[in-house]
A and B are shown apart, each in its own frame.
Chain A
Amino acid sequence: MYNPAVQPPKLMESFYGPKPKERAVNMLDMVSVAVGDLFPDIADRIYIYGGDISVIERATGETLSTVDMEMIKSGDTVKLLSSEHGYSIMGGEPYVRMLKALKENIQARTGCKDVRLMVGAYNGFRESDEFIAHYDLKSRFDGQVYRYGPYDKDVAIETEIGTVYGIKKIFDGDWFVHAYYDDPREIYYNRQIQRAYKPFGMSYVRFETRSIYHMNFANRSSNFLPMAVFNSAFIQERYAFSCVLRHSPAGILAIDADRDLAAIDKRISISHLRKYGKMMLLFNSIDECIAVVDGGRWGFYIHAGGVIFGVFMHAHDDLFDLSIPKVLGGFKKNEKGEVVPMLINPAIKVIVLNQAWPGINYLGLEQTPIVIAGEDHAAMWKADHCNPYITEAAETAKDLKSAMVRANDLYKTDKIIIFDGNFGYINCSPAMAKLLMDKAPEVSRKVDEELLPMWLKQRGIDPEAI
């Protein structure tokens, strides 16, 4: 017997995606597997969706008590730099609570009144406004809330490898706080290299800088760019400290705060390689499945057991092994001589999109059969120029149940996994639950004894010292 399916975090209605509809777990006969049942040694957490959220504020206050804020004077302007994805992890409220506690703590400790929340966006001009309205940020942050995005006015930043361009309005205060989250979402690109620095190559910079970060550096070496930006004199003159919402597959692990970002990054790496390493290898051990994507933002970024669907799409490689140069971002010629994206996880036999946003490129998605639930939803995908090739692969079904019938016509399997935003649990079919439980002990042994020491050494961390 397995646990009943777990309700996923609620969805936020948006200009950019389909209107939220009934969740997959409520329409399919699913069960759930707890991360703690799979891997008892990585079950620790302070919060999971539905729990007592006040723990976030308390943990933030406790962690910040060790951080030096002497540099901030009462008449200064401090900008709290927040980034897009934090507002969607476990419904977004944990990140908001951390940000709120951060603001109040700075004000209480320093006497500084002008502490502004900067709300970042991936691309759209309405994304930040939607967060501000949804979380009532204007009233919760005393009106000191501002949006920013990749097309805002630029500021040149001289780094040791050349000039790049940041967002002027987030760096024009006396100080800024790097207020981040660490779920290892783009492991296929980030490779768990300098993870804590990433916004300095993405959300805090102009779209041209984001472009060179993705296109002009390779899969592993690109991660030097955000660190070079962070280490620039321009940034260091304004940097106060960092405060990070830390995650594991089981949920929110802690709040980490420090002026030393390298120290935070090392703590994140050790934790992620051990904890996410096990979840990643477990996902790698899935031999076949129908993957159902059911969330309120870009489907690529929707979690199951704390791992995003985009990572599952590339789980056939060991994404943490730095001896593999490239795991995503490339094209190759196939047997017919056609240029095609690198293969996605061949264990995913059919993808069912119950609800997910288009609007970012899902490179390689068209190589797998796709069934989209709902005509309106399908129309959004088929008119999306980020993914024009999906129209060649996707079929439309009137609803999720019909989509699942069609998926089973395309590939017969009783192993189904749902990406619906959950940390701590994986909603799935009983057959998938059995597979995961059966595989977990060997996965755990292999990570502890073989892979983790290698991954750590590749990042200059002595396994014996942790």
Chain B
Amino acid sequence: MIQLEFLARVDDEKCTGCRLCESVCPAGAIEIAANLATISADRCIDCQRCIDRCNRENAISRQPRPSQIIRYVDHSSIDKGQLKTLCARAGLLPDMPICGCTRTTAKEAVAAILKGAKTPEDLCAMTGLRAGCGIYCITRIFQVLEACGVAVENPSDRRWIKLTLSLSDIPEDKVMMIDEAYPQCCLSEDWKRLKQRHAPSEGKEEKHV
């Protein structure tokens, strides 16, 4: 959940339609037409990445919204068992924040997909994911989309690349080989812990997420 007091706004006089801002917007809020960028207030999550990127023309600025809004997907109407199953399929526990910045939980992200999010951009626009640093949660976004059966195709401009490689993907024999060569990385111990997360028990979930 994030509270939004601001949004990005384009100065039509300065904008050249160069498209630099479009590809860095995590929420798919920017469209370019007739050499002019427009930003959807309904999708903007105030991450300020477009403002940062527009470092030639400085055509985008941060403006107060008419009133504060909250981006949050209510999961209370969704069956808890379904949420839990889909989170587990993503290798996540339902209450686990998948973003250190916004603290969006795995179950909120899953709920957003069940309520219509079909792309990483949709997920960000609905929940506020990637409004903070924009970096570390991206793999979690791919994981929950994949777990919910949403096909994720890399965009042609490579604005993001689907990458979900995880410690738990490494075969056990490989883990043991690495562990022997580099015991300081404690790979097998961590590998076992992550493997357990894919089939979370009630007790484990209660104790530690």
Q: Which A residues contact B (CB, under 8 angstroms)?
A: 15, 123-126, 129, 150-151, 153-154, 160-165, 193-194, 206-212, 214-224, 227, 322, 325, 330-333, 339, 341, 359-361, 363, 383-389, 458-460
B206 within 8 A of A: yes
Q: How far is B178's CA from A459's CA once the two chains are assembled, in angstroms?
A: 14
Find the A residue at minimum CB distance from B45: A385
Jot down 30 A-B pairs with beta carbons below 8 A, ordered by A: A129-B55, A161-B165, A162-B169, A162-B170, A164-B163, A207-B134, A208-B138, A210-B136, A211-B139, A212-B139, A214-B136, A215-B136, A216-B166, A218-B186, A218-B190, A218-B194, A220-B184, A221-B189, A222-B167, A223-B185, A224-B182, A322-B186, A325-B193, A331-B209, A333-B209, A339-B96, A339-B105, A361-B136, A384-B132, A388-B103
> Contact between A212 and B166 (Cβ–Cβ < 8 Å)?
yes
Query: Which 6 pairs show the lowest CB-CB distances between chains A and B?
Result: A218-B190, A216-B166, A386-B132, A221-B190, A208-B163, A385-B131
> Contact between B137 and A165 (Cβ–Cβ < 8 Å)?
no
**List of B residues within 8 angstroms of A384 by Cβ:** 132
**List of A residues within 8 angstroms of B207 by Cβ:** 333
Q: Which B residues contact A (CB, under 8 angstroms)?
A: 2-3, 5-6, 24, 45-47, 52-53, 55, 95-98, 100-103, 105, 128, 131-140, 158-170, 174, 178, 182-187, 189-191, 193-194, 206-209
**List of B residues within 8 angstroms of A360 by Cβ:** 133
**List of A residues within 8 angstroms of B2 by Cβ:** 385, 388
> Contact between B184 and A207 (Cβ–Cβ < 8 Å)?
no
Q: How far is the CB of A184 from chain B (nearest CB, A)?
A: 15
Contact A193 B206, CB 8 Å, known A207-B138, A389-B103: no
**List of A residues within 8 angstroms of B169 by Cβ:** 161-162
**List of A residues within 8 angstroms of B162 by Cβ:** 208
> Contact between B132 and A361 (Cβ–Cβ < 8 Å)?
yes
Contact A332 B161, CB 8 Å, known A210-B136, A339-B95, A361-B132: no
> Contact between A221 and B187 (Cβ–Cβ < 8 Å)?
yes
> Contact between A154 and B161 (Cβ–Cβ < 8 Å)?
yes
> Contact between A359 and B133 (Cβ–Cβ < 8 Å)?
yes
Find the A residue at minimum CB distance from B53: A125
Extra inter-chain contacts (17) besides given A160-B174, A385-B131, CB under 8 Å = A15-B52, A124-B52, A153-B158, A154-B161, A164-B165, A206-B161, A207-B160, A208-B139, A208-B162, A211-B137, A216-B166, A218-B167, A218-B194, A224-B187, A227-B182, A460-B183, A460-B184
Partner of A221, one of B105, B159, B167: B167
> Contact between B185 and A363 (Cβ–Cβ < 8 Å)?
no
Q: How far is the CB of B161 from chain A (nearest CB, A)?
A: 5
Find the A residue at minimum CB distance from B182: A224
Find the A residue at minimum CB distance from B55: A126
Q: How far is B48's CA from A384's CA once the two chains are assembled, in angstroms?
A: 10
Q: How far is the CB of A226 from chain B (nearest CB, A)?
A: 11
Q: How far is B205's CA from A440's CA once the two chains are assembled, in angstroms?
A: 42
Partner of A387, one of B47, B96, B101, B136: B101
Q: How far is B135's CA from A363's CA once the two chains are assembled, in angstroms?
A: 15
> Contact between B174 and A161 (Cβ–Cβ < 8 Å)?
yes
**List of B residues within 8 angstroms of A151 by Cβ:** 24, 159
Main secondary structure of the interface of A (DSSP, over half): loop
> Contact between A215 and B185 (Cβ–Cβ < 8 Å)?
no
Q: How far is the CB of A366 from chain B (nearest CB, A)?
A: 10
Partner of B163, one of A123, A125, A165, A363: A165
Q: How far is B158's CA from A386's CA once the two chains are assembled, in angstroms?
A: 24
Q: How far is the CB of A394 from chain B (nearest CB, A)?
A: 15
Find the B residue at minimum CB distance from A269: B184
Most chain A C-beta atoms within 10 Å of own C-beta, residue among B52, B136, B162? B136
**List of B residues within 8 angstroms of A165 by Cβ:** 161, 163
Q: How far is the CB of A186 from chain B (nearest CB, A)?
A: 13
> Contact between A212 and B101 (Cβ–Cβ < 8 Å)?
no
**List of B residues within 8 angstroms of A164 by Cβ:** 163, 165
> Contact between A331 and B132 (Cβ–Cβ < 8 Å)?
no
Partner of A333, one of B5, B167, B208: B208
Q: How far is the CB of B172 from chain A (nearest CB, A)?
A: 13
Q: How far is B190's CA from A221's CA once the two chains are assembled, in angstroms?
A: 7
**List of B residues within 8 angstroms of A162 by Cβ:** 165, 169-170
Find the A residue at minimum CB distance from B132: A386
> Contact between B135 and A211 (Cβ–Cβ < 8 Å)?
yes
Q: How far is B170's CA from A270's CA once the two chains are assembled, in angstroms?
A: 30
Find the A residue at minimum CB distance from B46: A385
Q: How far is B184's CA from A459's CA once the two chains are assembled, in angstroms?
A: 5
Q: How far is the CB of B190 from chain A (nearest CB, A)?
A: 4
> Contact between B206 and A333 (Cβ–Cβ < 8 Å)?
yes
Find the B residue at minimum CB distance from A358: B132
**List of A residues within 8 angstroms of B135 by Cβ:** 123, 150, 207, 210-211
**List of B residues within 8 angstroms of A341 by Cβ:** 100
> Contact between B102 and A193 (Cβ–Cβ < 8 Å)?
no
Partner of A211, one of B3, B55, B105, B163: B163
Q: How far is B198's CA from A167's CA once the two chains are assembled, in angstroms?
A: 32
Q: How far is B132's CA from A388's CA once the two chains are assembled, in angstroms?
A: 9
Partner of B185, one of A129, A224, A361: A224
> Contact between B3 and A125 (Cβ–Cβ < 8 Å)?
no
> Contact between A224 and B178 (Cβ–Cβ < 8 Å)?
yes
Q: How far is B182's CA from A220's CA once the two chains are assembled, in angstroms?
A: 11
Contact A216 B165, CB 8 Å, known A207-B134, A224-B178: yes
Partner of A215, one of B103, B140, B208: B140
Contact A215 B101, CB 8 Å, known A331-B96, A459-B184: no
**List of A residues within 8 angstroms of B5 by Cβ:** 383
> Contact between B137 and A215 (Cβ–Cβ < 8 Å)?
yes
Q: How far is B165's CA from A164's CA once the two chains are assembled, in angstroms?
A: 8
Find the B residue at minimum CB distance from A332: B208
Q: How far is B24's CA from A150's CA once the two chains are assembled, in angstroms?
A: 11
